[in-house]
């Protein structure tokens, strides 16, 4: 059978780009079967075409993006450069010229999705971005298509493998944050400058993408409350374990009464929660929708192979759609509303507080009083004197308090008050939300 040819280009030939090229080469026959098309890699944009790339010789490299953008025979552009610019500009130009785009770029998708959809309207071109969240885990298209009939109530994800690896090491081996980070860096799971991951910025961008799809209203990374894992200690994790909890960096989106909560922070969840057993560098996205109830999507959230899986699967769908034009459910821009995103003070959660107080009669009563004054009721209190595991605390008692569900503003007011009780409270060691 004579096969129609569909020409496409790739922007960027780093780790992910090479993974995609490799998968395309290995699965040529399967792609023929599944698409009925001859998918032809027409151009690959690189910064330096003369650089040796062992194992990737003979590719149609170019350093000039106009050879791609100005070539009408190129119908699909696969963008794997990462970062905002020049990727954003290239994507917008490709879409305006009617080229469908497939992208793994969470930065552009989180902050500039509107630019892309607007450009796509002009060029009548489509946007595929499965690889931008959760690596190889199918999540974007399932949310847009297989769960399309649901009103989504909640999305809760472990969407950053670096921090999940660090927290898993801390939990399983009692490592300090610094030790676990160094280990992650040595293994290549964490960047030399880990800020983007450990401060939760990467997770916040992915959450913005997920919230926008789930709640049909645009959520930008700047609207997401973001708190990293750098202040987590093995001691907090150990206390959590006593309560039956596991500590994770969670990306949480909720819709409550037409308003959206969007926050990334460390959180305790029950050890029986489906997300609790997601260990190491794995990712998972847990959702609650009506009427589907709870669902969870689990897999490898990063790496050349999983990312290539998502990119090439998107390419298959893009090629099939290009062959038979007509917009599909998964391609539509589903922002229909402008829902308010709550400032963190208005969100509600349970809280775990660990603090050191003067080990004297009446300390606990005075502390508990502060909670009551701000309408924060306590669910559990654990008092441990300094003891052998904290010998340097002298006359201090360590207290762990767990609240019922309260508004964040009230909890913060309690914490401010506690910090001013210098005759009673020596320090507030940590405040961690409890979810699930």
**Residues forming the active site:** 206
**Do the annotations mark residue 295 as ligand-binding?**
no
Of 17, 240, 266, 306, the one binding its own copies by CB under 8 A: 306
Q: Does 34 bind its own copies (CB under 8 A)?
A: yes
Phi-psi region of 237 (alpha: psi -120 to 50; beta: other; left: phi over 0): alpha
Q: How far is the CB of 29 from its own copies (least distance, A)?
A: 10
**Do the annotations mark residue 11 as ligand-binding?**
yes
* CA nearest neighbour of 67 among 58, 77, 57: 77
d(CA 252, CA 275): 12
Q: Does 155 bind its own copies (CB under 8 A)?
A: no
Q: Select 310 or 402, whichever has its Cβ closest to its own copies.
A: 310
Of 121, 290, 373, 423, the one binding its own copies by CB under 8 A: 290
**Do the annotations mark residue 14 as ligand-binding?**
yes
Q: Does 50 bind its own copies (CB under 8 A)?
A: no
Of 148, 187, 256, 360, the one binding its own copies by CB under 8 A: 148
Number of other residues whose CB lies within 10 A of the CB of residue 369: 11
**Do the annotations mark residue 339 as ligand-binding?**
no
Of 185, 295, 407, 430, the one binding its own copies by CB under 8 A: 295
Of 9, 78, 116, 137, the one binding its own copies by CB under 8 A: 137
Near its own copies by CB under 8 A, which window of 26-34, 93-101, 186-194, 375-383? 26-34
Label each residue of the chain as H, E or C: CCCEEEEEEEECCCHHHHHHHHHHHHCHHHHHHHHCEEEEEEEEECCCCCCCCCCCCCCCEECCCHHHHCCCCEEEEEECCCCCCCHHHHHHHHHHCCCEEEECCHHHHHHHHHHHHHHHHHHCCCEECHHHCCCCCCCHHHHHHHCCCCEEEEEEEECCHHHHHHHHHHHHHCCCHHHHHHHHHHCCCCCCCCHHHHCCHHHHHHHHHHHHHHHCECCCHHHCEECCCCCCCHHHHHHHHHCCEEEEEEEEEEEECCEEEEEEEEEEEECCCCCCCCCCCEEEEEEEEECCEEEEEEEECCCHHHHHHHHHHHHHHHHHHHHCCCCCHHHCCCCCECCCECCHHHCEEEEEEEEEEECCCCHHHHHHHHHHHCCCCEEEEEEEECCCCCHHHCCEEEEEEEECCEEHHHHHHHHHHHHHCCCCEEEEEEEEEECC
Q: Does 123 bind its own copies (CB under 8 A)?
A: no
Q: Does 149 bind its own copies (CB under 8 A)?
A: yes
Could you tell me if 209 and 132 are in contact, meaning their C-beta atoms sit under 8 angstroms apart? yes
Q: Does 293 bind its own copies (CB under 8 A)?
A: yes
Q: How far is the CB of 26 from its own copies (least distance, A)?
A: 8
Q: Select 332 or 378, whichever has its Cβ closest to its own copies.
A: 332
Q: Does 320 bind its own copies (CB under 8 A)?
A: yes
Q: How far is the CB of 391 from its own copies (least distance, A)?
A: 35
**Do the annotations mark residue 3 as ligand-binding?**
no
How many residues interact with its own copies (rule CB under 8 A)? 67
Q: Does 187 bind its own copies (CB under 8 A)?
A: no
**Do the annotations mark residue 17 as ligand-binding?**
yes
Q: Does 302 bind its own copies (CB under 8 A)?
A: no
Q: Does 170 bind its own copies (CB under 8 A)?
A: no
Q: Does 41 bind its own copies (CB under 8 A)?
A: no
Near its own copies in 247-286, by CB under 8 A: 272, 274, 276-277, 279, 282, 284
Q: Does 1 bind its own copies (CB under 8 A)?
A: no
Q: Does 25 bind its own copies (CB under 8 A)?
A: no
Binding positions are: 11-18, 106, 191
Interface contacts to its own copies, rule CB under 8 A: 19, 23, 27, 30-31, 33-35, 130, 136-138, 140-142, 145-151, 216, 272, 274, 276-277, 279, 282, 284, 289-300, 303-306, 308-313, 315-317, 320-321, 323-329, 332, 334, 336
């Amino acid at each position: 059978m004579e096969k129609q040819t569909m020409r496409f280009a790739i922007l960027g030939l780093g780790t992910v780009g090479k993974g995609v090229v490799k998968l395309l080469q290995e699965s040529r026959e399967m792609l023929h079967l599944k698409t009925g098309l001859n998918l032809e890699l027409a151009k690959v944009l690189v910064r330096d075409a003369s650089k040796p790339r062992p194992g990737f010789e003979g590719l149609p490299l170019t350093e000039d993006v106009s050879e791609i953008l100005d070539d009408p025979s190129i119908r699909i552009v696969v963008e794997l450069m990462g970062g905002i610019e020049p990727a954003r500009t290239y994507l917008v130009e490709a879409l305006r010229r009617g080229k469908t785009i497939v992208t793994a770029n969470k930065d552009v998708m989180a902050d500039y999705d509107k630019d892309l959809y607007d450009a796509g309207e002009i060029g009548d071109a489509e946007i595929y971005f499965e690889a931008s969240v959760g690596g190889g885990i199918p999540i974007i298209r399932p949310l847009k298509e297989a769960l399309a009939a649901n009103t989504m109530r909640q999305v809760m994800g472990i969407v950053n493998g670096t921090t999940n690896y660090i927290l898993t090491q801390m939990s399983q081996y009692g490592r300090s944050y610094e030790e676990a980070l160094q280990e992650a860096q040595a293994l290549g799971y964490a960047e030399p400058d880990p800020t983007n991951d450990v401060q939760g910025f990467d997770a916040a961008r992915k959450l913005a993408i997920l919230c926008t799809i789930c709640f049909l209203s645009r959520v930008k990374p700047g609207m997401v409350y973001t708190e990293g894992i750098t202040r987590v200690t093995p001691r907090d994790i150990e206390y959590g374990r006593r309560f039956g909890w596991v500590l994770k960096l969670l990306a949480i989106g909720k819709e409550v009464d037409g308003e959206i909560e969007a926050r990334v922070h460390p959180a305790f969840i029950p050890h029986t929660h489906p997300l609790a057993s997601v260990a190491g560098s794995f990712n998972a996205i847990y959702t609650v929708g009506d009427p589907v109830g709870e669902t969870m999507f689990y897999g490898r959230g990063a790496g050349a192979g999983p990312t290539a899986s998502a990119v090439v699967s998107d390419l298959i769908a893009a090629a099939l759609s290009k062959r038979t034009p007509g917009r599909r459910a998964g391609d539509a821009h589903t922002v229909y509303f402008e829902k308010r995103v709550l400032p963190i003070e208005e969100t509600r959660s349970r809280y775990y507080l660990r603090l050191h107080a003067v080990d004297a009669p009446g300390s606990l009563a005075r502390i508990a009083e502060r909670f009551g004054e701000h309408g924060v009721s306590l669910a559990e209190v654990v008092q441990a004197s300094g003891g052998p595991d904290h010998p340097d605390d002298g006359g201090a008692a360590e207290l762990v308090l767990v609240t019922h569900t309260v508004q964040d503003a009230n909890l913060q007011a309690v914490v401010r008050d506690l910090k001013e009780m210098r005759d009673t409270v020596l320090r507030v060691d940590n405040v961690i939300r409890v979810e699930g």
